[in-house]
């Protein structure tokens, strides 16, 4: 039986088509294995969950243990905010074999280049050809935060409790965590920490300080007190009034000539001490003018002297009032 040329041509065409289909299938399988089913995909989904603020999904993809601490930063707004400063993200599989791989996520935070490495493990096969990859289980890093003289703070826009001025927060990575303490009288400027990978130990130390508004208010009260002292000492014609001013002398002073005036007000500095706020010791100068009488001749002479003074104050800051109580002696 002789095969016709037409049949041979048809068979060859079908065979070529079959080969092309097989080749295309192999290429497609390889492409899917290296892209959709590659080691990077679980990491990409994990990063997407962080960007969406979906802590539950992110934790499921990461498969990590959650250490003890406050969960305030693990979901919602604070988590989404942690990724708002993570930019220029890129992925690379740095090493791989049939059962393990390592995916490096490169990114920038405030212009600083960072990396997070995700160890991967093969956990099965889908549809006969496609490897199933998962992020190797680990433990979340913990953000250690402190704040001076406060039991609360704000991290990534969320109010958080700070018992005894400190707290621990398990956090996802990568992530940027910004803490601050807003306040009318005492505040801490924003401070940032980066959780770059599972082995990092980020810290966030908030240096609370008196606000310029509070310092200005206390400065005004100190000045008011000193001006009142000078005025009262002048009215009472006293060289040693019930004030920080003191000028001891054995000379006789002509009645009605004593005049006190503050020539240098002390700078006000508010500092933390033993869990409270104190005003640093205050030092300045007062100008005393008077007429001196010579005890032997009775002759008079002008007296003008700069008298240094120092004192302290007790500071009480309430919700609606600020009290400054001078402490003499």
Q: Would you state the structure tokens that stand for residue 202, as one six-digit string?
A: 């980020």
164 and 122 fall within a common domain: no
Indicate whether 223 and 279 sit together in one domain. Answer: yes
Axis crossing angle, helix 40-51 with helix 55-62, rounded to the nearest 10: 160
Q: Which residues pair with 302 in a beta bridge?
A: 291
Number of structural domains (the chain) is: 3
The stretch 190-198 carries a mean pLDDT of: 95
> Mind listing the pLDDT tens digit for each residue in 201-225?
999 999 999 999 999 999 999 999 9
Q: Per the domain annotation, does 101 fall within a domain?
A: yes
What Å distances lie between residue 106 and 112, 148, 163, CA to CA?
11, 34, 35
- Of the listed ranges 72-86, 173-187, 258-272, 307-321, the least confidently predicted one is 307-321
In a domain, 300, yes or no: yes
Cα dihedral 155→159→163→165 (10° resolution): 50
Q: Are residues 231 and 299 in the same domain?
A: yes
Alpha helix positions (H), the chain: 5-34, 40-51, 55-62, 76-82, 212-236
Indicate if 285 and 193 belong to the same structural domain: no
pLDDT at 3 over 90: no
**How are the residues of the chain apportioned to helix, strand and coil, as percentages rounded to the nearest 5?**
25, 40, 30
> What is the domain extent for residue 103?
29-63+74-134
In a domain? residue 5: no
Residue 19 inside a domain? The answer is no
Across the range 129-141, mean pLDDT stands at: 89
Query: 113 CB contacts (<8 Å, ≥6 apart)?
Result: 106, 107
- Asked if the model's pLDDT at residue 91 lies above 50, the reply is yes
Share of the chain above pLDDT 70, in %: 87
Task: Specify the residue for token string 């490897």.
Answer: 131
Position 12 in a domain: no
Decide which of 167, 192, 208 is a domain's last residue: 208
Q: Domain holding 151: CATH number?
A: 2.60.40
Q: pTM of the predicted model, to two decimals?
A: 0.80
Q: Which two tokens stand for residue 10?
A: 């048809």
Q: Is 86 found in the same domain as 37?
A: yes
Cβ contact 149:166 at 8 Å = no
What pLDDT, on the 0 to 100 scale, is given for residue 302?
95
The reported pLDDT for the residue numbered 28 is: 36
> Residue 9 — pLDDT band, cuts 50, 70, 90?
low
Q: What is the dihedral of CA 127, 130, 135, 136, to 10 degrees?
A: 90
Q: Which of 89, 118, 134 lies at the terminal end of a domain, its last residue? A: 134
Both 218 and 185 in one domain: the answer is no
Residue 280 has pLDDT above 60, yes or no: yes
pLDDT confidence of 8, banded at 50, 70, 90?
low
| One domain for residues 204 and 307 | no
């Amino acid at each position: 039986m002789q095969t016709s040329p037409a049949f041979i041509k048809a068979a060859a065409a079908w065979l070529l088509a079959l080969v092309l289909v097989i080749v295309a299938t192999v290429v497609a399988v390889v492409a899917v294995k290296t892209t959709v089913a590659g080691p990077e995909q679980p990491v990409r989904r994990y990063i997407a969950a962080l960007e969406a603020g979906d802590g539950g999904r992110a934790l499921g993809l990461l498969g990590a243990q959650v250490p003890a601490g406050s969960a305030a930063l693990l979901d919602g707004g604070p988590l989404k905010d942690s990724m708002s400063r993570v930019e220029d993200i890129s992925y690379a599989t740095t090493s791989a074999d049939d059962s393990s791989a390592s995916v490096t996520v490169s990114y920038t935070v405030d212009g600083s280049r960072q990396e997070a490495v995700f160890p991967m493990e093969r956990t099965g096969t889908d549809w006969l050809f496609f490897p199933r990859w998962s992020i190797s289980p680990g433990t979340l890093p913990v953000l250690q935060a402190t704040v001076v003289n406060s039991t609360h703070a704000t991290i990534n826009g969320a109010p958080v409790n700070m018992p005894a001025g400190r707290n621990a927060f398990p956090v996802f990575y990568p992530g940027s965590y910004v803490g601050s303490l807003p306040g009318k009288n005492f505040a801490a400027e924003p401070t940032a920490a980066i959780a770059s990978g599972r082995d990092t130990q980020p810290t966030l130390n908030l240096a609370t300080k008196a606000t310029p508004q509070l310092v200005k208010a206390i400065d005004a009260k100190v000045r008011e007190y000193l001006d009142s002292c000078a005025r009262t000492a002048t009215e009472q014609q006293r060289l040693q009034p019930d004030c920080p001013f003191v000028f001891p002398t054995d000379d006789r002073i002509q009645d009605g000539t004593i005049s006190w005036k503050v020539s240098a007000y002390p700078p006000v500095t508010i500092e933390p001490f033993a869990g409270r706020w104190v005003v640093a010791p205050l030092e300045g100068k007062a100008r005393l003018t008077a007429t001196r009488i010579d005890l032997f001749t009775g002759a008079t002479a002008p007296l003008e002297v700069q008298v240094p003074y120092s004192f302290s104050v007790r500071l009480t800051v309430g919700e609606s009032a600020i009290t400054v109580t001078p402490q003499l002696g």
